[in-house]
Amino acid sequence: MLKLKEAEKIFEDYICQTYGKRRLVLSYGSGLYIFDTENKKYLDFLSGLAVSSMGHNHPKIVKALNEQAQKLIHCSNLYFNEPQSRLAKNLIEQKMPGYKLFFCNSGAEANEAAIKLTRKFTNNPEKSKIITFKNSFHGRTMATITATGQTKYNESFKPLLPIFEYADFNDINSVKRLIDKNTAAVMLELIQCEGGVNISSKKFIQELSELCSANKLLLILDEVQTGAGRTGKFFCFEHYNIKPDIVTLAKGIAAGVPMGIMFAKKEIADAFKPGDHASTFGGNPLACAAALEVLKFLNDKNLQKIYELGEYFKTEILSLKNPLIKEARGLGLMIGIELNKKIADDIQLECEKSGLLINSIHNEVLRIAPPLIVKKSEIDKALKIIETALKKY
């Protein structure tokens, strides 16, 4: 059994040092719980960064993966495969009529596809500017770190792509100031999750959507973290009554099997021609088999439940009336608890010691993103642990 010390040594000696200190070696999971190699049990309220949407080892996901693995694990995109075709049909017919999609393997790749498609659709090298937002997060490839409006992620990698400019989140005038004849698109997260669970206002998104239409700019939504049911709708944009031109999805869509998807309105998607874009693993049969199960789970009844559980969590955490809690915000099961003091790292650690996994952002906000199958009783357990941790400060 791998011990922490051995894992640390392997990491130090053999793996690029891109990750900070880690304290746990996780081994197996069941439902909302995950266990380390010492058999210590953790209530998982982070879902592997909003990925394990069906919890751990969900029997339907395990069955779908087992059955598919016995048939076909990989199939290049030189050929069709059944789960990929079925998933595309179900996604488009049930969730995105009028759109087409491109399958890839991660959030950054889905955003890359969106950036490339924008360039191809616009078909004018002069008109290549994309407005993104300060404090955003769009991934780690060269294009997506440049799209990301946080210098800590991109300043060591200059020269960056010269096509992105950053507006202030929720400030329509700052977007207006950046629009010129070279602007092709505006790209944003409706909730800046990595940025601290900052929610865009309905007024701002309505105005932004109108501004994009008036100026013939593509509206690209990065729903890598907010999509696939996380906010209590299949897509977060359904809370806003808008119709984006391009939407990206990843994280929770295949319950932990790597998958990214870019959706674009048909007339935009058709700008991509054979050879313009591709992915060896994109639309992999295993990932698609898992995603088909996630899609079945995300029916209207379960989506409503996800939304209500999120409201329940926020109400209950505020009812603790702990003076350290400044605000509880979020939609569905993407929740941020903002603290009055920079102690979120310590609270995360205290919770971990007491068997709860949550995540500190900027040492100020606690990010709560449990699997979408969470029950009220498990939320109550998590709240107790957070309450006890806060009381120590």
Ligand X SMILES: Cc1ncc(COP(=O)(O)O)c(C=O)c1O
The binding site for ligand X (CB under 6 A) comprises: 106-108, 111, 137-139, 189, 193-194, 222, 224-225, 250
Least distance from ligand X to the Cβ atom of residue 193, Å: 5
Q: Which is nearer to ligand X, 44 or 189 (CB)?
A: 189
Least distance from ligand X to the Cβ atom of residue 5, Å: 28
C-alpha distances (whole Å) from 190 to each of 194, 200, 225, 247, 359 are 12, 5, 10, 11, 20
Q: Which is nearer to ligand X, 107 or 332 (CB)?
A: 107
User: How buried is residue 327: exposed, middle or buried, by Cβ count under 10 Å (0-12/13-18/19+)?
Assistant: middle
Q: Which is nearer to ligand X, 137 or 313 (CB)?
A: 137
Q: Which is nearer to ligand X, 138 or 265 (CB)?
A: 138
Least distance from ligand X to the Cβ atom of residue 194, Å: 5
Least distance from ligand X to the Cβ atom of residue 110, Å: 8
User: How buried is residue 336: exposed, middle or buried, by Cβ count under 10 Å (0-12/13-18/19+)?
Assistant: buried
The residue at minimum Cβ distance from ligand X is: 107
Please, which contacts does 91-99 make with residues 24 or more away whose CB atoms are closer than 8 Å? 91/261, 91/263, 91/295, 94/295, 95/234, 95/235, 96/247, 96/263, 98/265, 98/266, 99/247, 99/263, 99/264, 99/265, 99/266, 99/269
Structure tokens at 257: 């099997």
Whose tokens are 């699997």? That residue is 371
Q: Which is nearer to ligand X, 31 or 252 (CB)?
A: 252
Least distance from ligand X to the Cβ atom of residue 28, Å: 23
Q: Which is nearer to ligand X, 108 or 386 (CB)?
A: 108
Q: Rg (Cα) of the chain, in Å, rounded?
A: 21
Least distance from ligand X to the Cβ atom of residue 49, Å: 6
